[in-house]
Structure formats: structure tokens, C-alpha cells
Amino acid sequence: MFNIKEELKRLPDNPGVYLMFNDDDEIIYVGKAKNLKKRVRQYFTSSDIGKTDKVIEMVKHIKRFEYIIVDNEVESLILESNFIKDKQPKYNILLKNGEKYPFIKISNEKFPRITKERVIKKDGSKYYGPFPNAYAVTEIIEIFLNMFKIRRCTLNFDKGQYLKRPCLYYFIKKCSAPCIKNISEEDYMKNIDEVEMLLKGKENKIIEETREKMFKASKDLNFELAARYRDNIENIEAIIEKQKVRNSKGTNMDIIALERHGTDVCVQAFLMRNGKIIDREHFLIEDSFKENDSEIMSSFLKQFYLDMAFIPKEILVDTLPDDLESIEEFLTNEKKGTVKVTKPQRGEKVKQLELVKANAKEMLEKYITSKHKRERSKSSAFDELKKVTGLEDFDRVECYDISNISGVQSVGSMIVFINGEKAPKEYRKFKIKTVVGADDYGSHREVLTRRFSRMLIENKEGNFSTGFGIKPSIILMDGGKGQVNVALEVLKEFNIDIPVMGLVKDDYHKTKGIIYKNSEYLLKVKSPLYRLLFQIQEEAHRFAINYHRKLRERDLKKSELDEIEGIGVVRKKALIKYFKSIKKIKEASIEELAKIDKMNLSAAESIYKFFHKE
């Protein structure tokens, strides 16, 4: 049994990170401290004087804590940020947009490829970015591929993987076909060099050279080639258009501002590279406990720059963060060069910051308008559901779906909506164990039996570690009367009273109505209730299908490749990475198999003989 008073006595005076846990043994808050003893003890003093509303509310739910000692405050900052990113604690300030920015990668291989990547690897490749707008990156890469005829295939030319015939892109004049040695490596690399010049912002030189080529081709009456050069110029200008905002000095810096309205906060970030705003991105934060702007900015900077490959020398902010010195030291260590976080007072930088702040305000207004619209729609949906069913409580809705193909590898899904919003952390998946074949009723019975038996066990033991201990307000079954009756039978066996509703589909497998207490109600397609139930049903189906696919892929890879002598984990990964499917591995010749990384002739022969029963 954890005794908080006893553990408080043992706290050290060292710097470190502390983790607060609730009844369900979930991390609800992560913090850092110069002195763990002083900081953690502050939470548990008898007086509430000086405590924020968040701390008072959070302490009510703390059942135990842990701490990790580190050498200095910068280490604690990094560790704290990693925990927050990984665990998403309830009482920490969290960014809703947590996706990593994409980079444009030029691979380190013979006849390099150009791809979009979100993770930088130490593979010798060149990475340009980051670009907050993923769609712009995709468009730019497509322009590069078409304009400079860069290959799209994954052939390993370093291992001599060439083809007898080129792919379709060669015939539609979108690839220079190095696969058939149609272009020398020297000429191909000239095209790559031009791509790099564009990414480095040296587009004027390329435009001038291309325009000269266009005029020469036109003079030589080669109008088809001249038109191609003209199109190239237009494509380059399209790339420039995506990066058109610039400052006068061509510097690298980030500009960050926040705007708030009640509990909603929007942080807007502009990334400037070589004097150009390459893009902008906004992050939404729910500030239920009305934190100081400086605390929000501190949390934002720590999460935002934790995995950034490129950190500029200067970061402009409209609000200085709480732990400014620690953040600057952390960023300086990451960049291996001095980084300053400043709030400008005059000049051009103030105007740039005002522009970013105006964008933050605009984004926040759009978000609030959209949120109010969703709230009205959700309220209308629940009002309609009340009229149809007479029920009042829709706080926690659980929807169940079964997925299989011809009865193979059946899986079940439980998705949860809390107050009309998706709650992915509450989702659960079930691998069907007792049912053979495509038995939808039997599969639903197994899933529901396992779910509610766990609920009763957790309630009895007071252990809610799996998340099954919470009783749903209503159960939605992806199906008609039969599925509803199965759910009611299971609930009756456990003596549990929960309303059960079925989602009825039409001949095209689309939601058309609901069934409740043996009565069917058709829904208008444009009604708020229809939209809500359709969203829930589609989410349950998506979650079940994704789990089903993962199991099939895992078993497919495991059931055959693992039986081949001499094929271990490393070779199996190399085979799957290259051929993409078991079918293509079966069709490959010994020579093709031997070319794969980590493979030798003996292993290739073993694979070939296994699949060809020799």
C-alpha cells in the first residue's frame, strides 16, 4: 500500500521529474523541479492558499507519485517533455496537433529518390524542411518528380537491380528510366542538384537558365521542348508561391504567438527559412484551469521543439516562457549553437509578431465558431434521440462491431464516445477465441461477455487498470434485432441494466435507422442524429477493420516465412520491405531473392525451394 506521507519524507533535494498517478494507475500529471522535495511537498500542504484551481482539483485524484532523479534542470526538462508527449496526462497542457512536420528527403543511394518523411534517420540522406503544410510538400515533390524526371521506384541500383523494360512513368515522360540505364548517373545527379538548389531558395538562377533553354529551343523550332521548359518555369513559380512571404535579411527564425478566449487557446507558429515563411501551423490547447500565458508558452515550446530536426538561432514570442533560461539551454544543446528566445520591443520583428498574432486570433475565432456549431448539432442529435427512445443519459456511448473475411480471423471492436466526442483512449479490441467461422451473433456474445465480466471483476476488486470498469450509458450494436437481442441476453446473464440500441443498415450497407425495444425508427439523412450515429458506426467499423488487417498481415508473415530454415527476423524484414507481400516472394527467382539486402545465395535457394516444394 502506497503511503503518501511516508513517501514525502523520503523525497530527495535533487533536481528531477515527478509523476502523479490516479486510482486507475494512470499518469495524470508530469512535472519537473530543481528540488523534488520542496516542489512535490507543496501539492500536499493542508492549506489551499497559493494553489491554482488545477492543483486543488488534481490533488483530489492523486493516489501515489513517482520521481526520477536527474543531473540538472535541462535533463529534467527533456524527460518531462518526453513523458508528456508519450502519456498525454490529463492535467498537463497538451497540444491537440501533435503530428511531426514532414521533410523532403533526397536519399543517399545511386540514382537518389525524393520522398516525404516525418522522421529523420541517420542514413546519409539529405533532409529539407520541416514543412508544416503536408499537402504543400506532397505537391512540391510531385512537381520535382515530373519536372526533373526523378524515379519513383524502390529498385536498389547499388545491388545491380535493373529491369529489361521501364515502367509506365517512362512512357508518359515522367521518369528518365535509370532502371534500363536510359540516363547516366552524372546527368541524373545534375537534375538532383537543381532540385537541391530550389530547396535552398536559389530559384532565380534556375529560372534564368531554363528561360534561356526555352528561347533556344523555340529559335531551333523545337516547340515541344520549348513548351516543356515553359511548363518547368511555371512549376518553379508555383513552388515559390508557396514560400512567397520573406523578410529583408534572409534569416532563419520562428515566430510564435498565442491568443485566448475563455478556456480555448490557439498558438500560431510561422517558420521562416532563408528569409521566407515556408508555411504556418496552428495548435489548439484546452486551458480548463486558466493557466498563465507564460506557462502555456513554456509547455508549447518544450513539446514543439522536442523532436524538431532544425532549430533556428532566434525564436520570437509574444509571451516569454516561465523557465526561459532552461528552455534556451535545452535548445542550444539540441542545435549545438546559441539559440535565443526573445520578445521584440520595436522594429520589423514587432510587426512580424503582430501578423502572427492576428493569424492566431483568426484561427481561434474559426475554431470557436466551428465548436459552437458542433455543440449545437450534438445537442440537437441528443434531443432527437431522447424523443425517439425516452432516454436521458448519453454521457458514455459504447459501440460494438465484428470484422472478418469469410469467417477467418474474426475480431471485435469497442469504440467509445464521451459526451458526443470520440475517446480513443477508451477503445478496446478483441480477438475472437471461442467462435469458428462467420458467426456474427456468437462473436458479439463473446466480446460482450468478456467486456462485462471484466467490468464486474474490476468493480469488485476496485482495480480499474484496464478501463473496463466504467459502466456505459448506452450500448450501440452494429446490426439489427439479432445483435441487439444478443447484447440484451448477455446483460441479463450478468444482471446489468443498460439500454441497447441497434444501428440498422440499408441494402447499400449505409445507416438508415435505429432499432430500440423491437421498434425501428428511420432517420433523415440530413438530421444531426443521423450524422452522429453514422460517425459512431463508421468509427467502430474502421477500428475493427484496422485490427483485423494487422492480425492477418502478422499471421501471414509468421505462418510461412518463419518455417523456412535460415530465415531469421532480419532477413524476414528485408524480404517484406522489398517485395511488400508473400505472393511476390513466392514468385521471385533465386537471382532476385539473392539481391536482397542481408541475403546470400544459400538463403535465397532455401526460400525458393520452400515455396516451390523442391
Please check whether residue 376 lies inside any domain of the structure: no
Q: What is the pLDDT of residues 140-183, one digit of tens each?
A: 788 788 888 999 998 989 888 888 888 888 988 889 999 999 99
Please check whether residue 461 lies inside any domain of the structure: yes
3-state secondary structure of 299: helix
Cα gap 18→91, rounded to integer Å: 13
Structurally, the chain folds into a number of domains equal to: 5
| Residue 349 sits in the same domain as residue 315 | yes
| Residue 402 sits in the same domain as residue 526 | yes
| Residue 358 sits in the same domain as residue 288 | yes
Please check whether residue 464 lies inside any domain of the structure: yes
**What is the average pLDDT score of the chain?**
84
The angle that helices 203-219 and 223-241 make with each other, rounded to 10 degrees, is: 160
| Residue 290 sits in the same domain as residue 360 | yes
CA distance to 108, 166, 171, 175, 594, per residue, from 178 (Å): 16, 9, 13, 8, 21
DSSP H or E segment with residue 404? strand 396-405
Cell of 413: 471492436
pLDDT over 50 at 284, yes or no: yes
Please report, for the domain that includes residue 569, its CATH number: 1.10.150.20
Please report, for the domain that includes residue 13, its CATH number: 3.40.1440.10
Bridge partners (DSSP) listed for residue 34: none
Q: What is the pLDDT of residues 172-206, one digit of tens each?
A: 888 999 999 999 999 999 999 988 887 776 667 67
What range does the domain containing 228 cover? 109-241
| Residue 459 sits in the same domain as residue 505 | yes
Q: Out of 525, 550, 575, pick the residue that ends a domain.
A: 550
pLDDT over 80 at 264, yes or no: yes
Among 79, 126, 130, smallest CA distance to 101 is for: 130
Cell of 288: 480548463
Cell of 245: 512571404
Please check whether residue 477 lies inside any domain of the structure: yes
Please check whether residue 168 lies inside any domain of the structure: yes
Please check whether residue 374 lies inside any domain of the structure: no
| Residue 302 sits in the same domain as residue 359 | yes
Among 472, 485, 473, smallest CA distance to 515 is for: 485
Q: Which of 134-138, 456-460, 488-492 has the lowest mean pLDDT?
A: 134-138
Q: What is the pLDDT of residues 482-512, one digit of tens each?
A: 999 999 999 999 999 999 999 988 777 777 8
Cα gap 254→317, rounded to integer Å: 9
- Number of helical H runs and strand E runs in the chain: 19, 19
pLDDT over 50 at 246, yes or no: no
| Residue 481 sits in the same domain as residue 539 | yes
pLDDT band at 516 (very low <50, low <70, confident <90, very high): very high
State the average pLDDT over residues 325-331: 93
| Residue 416 sits in the same domain as residue 537 | yes
pLDDT band at 296 (very low <50, low <70, confident <90, very high): very high
Please report, for the domain that includes residue 505, its CATH number: 3.30.420.340
266 vs 198, higher pLDDT? 266
Q: Out of 365, 387, 410, pick the residue that ends a domain.
A: 365
CA distance to 38, 42, 237, 295, per residue, from 35 (Å): 6, 11, 55, 19
In terms of pTM, does the model score above 0.75? no
Bridge partners (DSSP) listed for residue 127: 105
| Residue 535 sits in the same domain as residue 570 | no
pLDDT over 60 at 536, yes or no: yes
Cα gap 199→598, rounded to integer Å: 34
Radius of gyration of the chain (CA): 30
- Maximum separation of any 2 CA atoms in the chain, in Å: 90
| Residue 497 sits in the same domain as residue 543 | yes
Cell of 365: 475565432
Please check whether residue 391 lies inside any domain of the structure: no
| Residue 127 sits in the same domain as residue 59 | no
Q: Out of 198, 215, 241, pick the residue that ends a domain.
A: 241
| Residue 174 sits in the same domain as residue 74 | no
Dihedral (C-alpha) 556, 558, 559, 560: value to the nearest 10 degrees? 90
Q: Which of 37-51, 351-365, 471-485 has the lowest mean pLDDT?
A: 37-51
Please check whether residue 246 lies inside any domain of the structure: no
